[in-house]
Amino acid sequence: MVKFELINISKSFVKNDNKCKNETLILNDISLKINSGTFVSILGPSGCGKSTLLSIMAGFIPPSKGEIKFNDIPVIEPKPSRVVIFQDYGLFDWKTVQGNVEFGLKAKNIPKLKRKEIAQYYIDLVHLKGSENKYPHELSGGMKQRAAIARAIAIEPECLLMDEPFGALDSQTRNILQDEILEIWKKTQNTIVLVTHDEDEAVFLSDRIIVLSNSPANVIIDEDINLERPRFTEIRLRKDFIEKKNNLWQSLRK
């Protein structure tokens, strides 16, 4: 079943410098279909517009041209069926971990006691037990992203849109969270679209990798990753893994 359908998506931004209108094309005619339940990575050099593409998929910004559908319905605004996980976490600084996780549940009008129970389940799931009453500024980067993940999956979205979610973390924490996101995905079975510039991360996590060229971005590679699951960190040492990674590395630097 097709979850996301992008048809000839283009996006340009208008800049006004010195009275002359400057239109910059960011995304150039991108068409994609993303199947339900798959883990898809969008890989591209920094600044190529992959985050812009994710913002369009989330419904934060409209495309300049083209059409985008989620479950066959046009995307016009953000919806809790596709939750975004941001690189900078986007946690509400004025709420505790518990309060953050309950936010989306409150929006769904779930009664207070039930809300607490659900939040507790997801806080445990991301291994944040004991930090429920901490404020974001009291958490490390890894813990913040765990809280953001718990907040997102607590409302049981059909799709998670992740915008370089582990980009601000040290490599050890990143690897741990990559393992955990696969664990979580196995339980939730939802569709995940991950934007990243890290080919190792993309190969390790994905069923399918879409590589964008430098701006204006266009799809240059669209390939399936047929490594078996479950994947553990040792897979990174395998020849086929390294080969895939190197191929992507080279295509990114063309």
Partner 1 sequence: MKLKYNYRKLLSIIAIIAIWELLCDIGYINIKILPSPYVVLLTLYKLIISGSILIDMLTSLWRVIVGFLIAVFLGGITGYFTATNEKTRDFLIPIIEILRPIPPVAFIPLSILWFGIGNAPAFFLVAFGSFFPIYTNTFYGIKSVNKIHIDAALCLGASHKQLVFDVIIPAAMPFITVGLKTGIGVAWFCVIAAELVGAQSGLGYMIQLNRLTLQSENVIAGMVMIGVIGFLMSKMMVLIQKKLVPWSNRTL
Name which of 159 and 252 has its Cβ closer to partner 1. 159
Q: 19: Cβ–Cβ under 8 A, 6 or more apart, which residues?
A: none
- The CB-of-137 to partner 1 minimum distance in angstroms stands at 6
* Residue listed under structure tokens 């009291």: 138
- The CB-of-97 to partner 1 minimum distance in angstroms stands at 11
Residue 157 tokens read as 């979205």
Q: How far is CA 162 from CA 39, 106, 214, 238, in A?
A: 11, 22, 20, 26
Interacting residue with partner 1 among 69, 95, 127, 197 (CB under 8 A):
95
Hey, what's the torsion of the CAs at 163, 221, 185, 45, to 10 degrees? -20
Hey, what's the torsion of the CAs at 230, 236, 241, 247, to 10 degrees? 130
Nearest to 210 by CA among 78, 12, 31, 13: 31
Task: State the Cα–Cα distance between residues 37 and 1, nearest whole angstrom.
Answer: 9
Interacting residue with partner 1 among 1, 19, 20, 137 (CB under 8 A):
137
- The piece of 66-74, 89-97, 121-129, 242-250 that touches partner 1 (CB under 8 A) is 89-97
Site for partner 1 in 69-88 (CB under 8 A): 77-80, 82-84, 86, 88
Interacting residue with partner 1 among 16, 76, 94, 237 (CB under 8 A):
94
Residue 233 tokens read as 């960190």
Sign of the alpha-carbon dihedral angle for 212, 30, 83, 37? negative
Binding mask 22-61 for partner 1 (x = CB under 8 A): ------------------------------------xxx-
- The piece of 10-18, 68-76, 135-143, 204-212 that touches partner 1 (CB under 8 A) is 135-143
- Phi first, then psi: give them for residue 160, nearest 5 degrees: -110, 130
- The CB-of-76 to partner 1 minimum distance in angstroms stands at 12
165 lies in the site for partner 1, by CB under 8 A: no
Sites of contact with partner 1 (CB under 8 A) = 58-60, 77-80, 82-84, 86, 88, 90-96, 103-104, 106-108, 135-137, 151-152, 155
